[in-house]
Amino acid sequence: MPVRYQLSGGTASEISASVESGVRSGALPAGAALPPVRALAAQLGVSPATVAAAYAALRRRGIVETAGRNGTRIRPRPALAGPRAARRPPVPPGVLDLSSGEPDARLRPRLDAALARVAAAGAGGYATGSTDPELEELARHGFAADGIDLAGAAIGVTGGALDGIERVLGAHLRPGDRIAVEDPGWANLLDLVAALGLHAHPVPVDGDGPTAAGLRTALAAGARALVVTSRAHNPTGATVTAARAAELRAVLAGHPDTLVVEDDHAAQLATEPLHALAGATRSWAFVRSVSKPYGPDLRLALVAADEATLARVQGRQAMGTGWVSTILQRLVVALMTDPDVAALVDHARDSYRQRRVALVDALVTRGLAAVGRTGINVWVPVADETAAVARLRDDGYAVAPGSLYRLATPPGLRITVSNLDLDGTGGCADAIARAAAGVVSGHAA
């Protein structure tokens, strides 16, 4: 994508500010190629070192990425607010949205009764802002029931999973540090890693989670931390099995200073047992969001971690936001202890499983290597993501391109089943098969 935006500046900070201005205005969209260092230096009348320093600063802030022979480009989702439409393209009318990654709005619990219960309890204040004791006890019981050893651990609350992960990483790592991440992996995490100035080292993922060989290679390359999705991996649906957890623990035993962060975003919606890595190293954190079972707008996650890590997280939290709203914490308690809500969450779990299995089976029957063992997403390898996404949109389906989720993994599509009803599975699978084969409206492209 050629750049039509006129860059300017005589210093590294001015050049980087010019690029940021272009991103904010939308003149430099995602994927836009910036001029080669020497070409821009000649154009602006500055030294190549000045332009290189500007590009390096933009990379550290997660705004651009180096794409090998393709030069420097604006990241798919730069860490800089731009036009609203550029953050997530709207789904046209008549197109079924299978791209958002959100749970089914029809299966989220109503908040009426829970809000009434919270309102009756009243609001807290500066002196009472902390982790709600009842929520902490519920979290402790849930973690222990899943086999997490809480000896020497502490429990806290953050403003969602990504907030918890960011705080834990910030408590241990500094810009320039190398971190092992799943490939493919959660797009938001990859964006966060870039924005923190960390170097992502891809660890391949199969159906049983990140591979031990991939982790071994990452640690040998100097990775100081590892982030793992325990279950319902986004985007492939992988889950860490007991055998894989044992393999990963064996690798980590030789690197006891590695920070291990686990993301259990599926929580009560998970259909597979948990096999956690918590405690495999000295520093660890296990983060469990409430977004998938109860609703994305409930920005809250429960965190279990070694005492030193959680003390750092809470200390930094105290100097910023202070605490997660006591009202919000009590609302989550009300939802977690309501039998009717529990029954709805169980129904949602079963519904997602049925829809996911139905789509995977339909795609496999049509000759596609689709995977999706757990969660709400299905991953489908394709030869050309851009063409497949466009063809599916023409056929009435919006899906997410795999480029948002992968580093070294071959191309693919991420398809979320939340809005796909069972009776629409066959038609959707037909459309995906046509798109993967490069067929448009029944004719070869």
127 and 270 share one domain: yes
Taking the CB of residue 343, how many other CB atoms lie within 10 A of it? 11
pTM of the complete model: 0.87
Give a yes or no: residue 4 inside a domain: no
Please tell me the total count of domains within the chain.
3
Give a yes or no: residue 6 inside a domain: no
| Domain CATH for 387 | 3.90.1150.10
Dist CA 282 CA 121 (whole Å): 39
Which of 337, 369, 387 is at the close of a domain? Answer: 337
Give a yes or no: residue 7 inside a domain: no
Give a yes or no: residue 3 inside a domain: no
202 and 291 share one domain: yes
41 and 159 share one domain: no
332 and 357 share one domain: no
Task: Identify the domain containing residue 100 by its residue range.
Answer: 91-106+341-444
State the sign of the Cα–Cα–Cα–Cα dihedral 414, 417, 421, 426.
positive
398 with 95: CB under 8 angstroms? Answer: yes
388 with 397: CB under 8 angstroms? Answer: no
> For the chain, first and last CA: distance in Å?
23
366 and 326 share one domain: no
The per-residue pLDDT string of the chain (445 residues; one tens digit each, 9 = 90 and over) reads: 455 789 999 999 999 999 999 999 889 988 899 999 999 999 999 999 999 999 999 988 889 988 767 789 998 888 887 664 445 567 889 999 999 889 999 999 999 989 998 988 777 777 666 889 999 999 999 999 999 999 989 999 999 999 999 999 999 999 999 999 999 999 999 999 998 989 999 999 999 999 999 999 999 999 999 999 999 999 999 999 999 999 999 999 999 999 999 999 999 999 999 999 999 999 999 999 999 999 999 999 999 999 999 999 999 998 888 889 999 999 999 999 999 999 999 999 999 999 999 999 999 999 999 999 999 999 999 999 999 999 999 999 999 999 999 999 999 999 999 999 999 999 999 999 999 998 654 444 4
User: Which two three-digit tokens encode residue 207?
Assistant: 């159906």
284 and 345 share one domain: no
Give a yes or no: residue 49 inside a domain: yes
Taking the CB of residue 242, how many other CB atoms lie within 10 A of it? 11
122 and 78 share one domain: no
Give a yes or no: residue 201 inside a domain: yes
325 and 365 share one domain: no
| Domain CATH for 17 | 1.10.10.10
205: three-class secondary structure by DSSP: strand
Residue 259's DSSP bridge partners are: 225, 283
| Neighbouring residues of 399: CB distance < 8 A, sequence distance ≥ 6 | 98, 99, 388, 389, 392, 413, 414, 415, 432
Cis status, amide bond into 273, omega within 30 of 0:
no
79, HSE (Cβ side, Cα atoms, 13 Å): 20
Give the strand pairing for 209-210 and 199-206.
antiparallel
79 and 130 share one domain: no
234 and 256 share one domain: yes
373 and 230 share one domain: no
Give a yes or no: residue 202 inside a domain: yes
| Domain CATH for 290 | 3.40.640.10
For 133-199, the DSSP string reads: HHHHHHHHHHHHHTT---TTEEEEEESSHHHHHHHHHHHH--TT-EEEEEES--HHHHHHHHHTTPE
229 with 182: CB under 8 angstroms? Answer: yes
Give a yes or no: residue 5 inside a domain: no
169 and 120 share one domain: yes
Which of 337, 367, 402 is at the close of a domain? Answer: 337
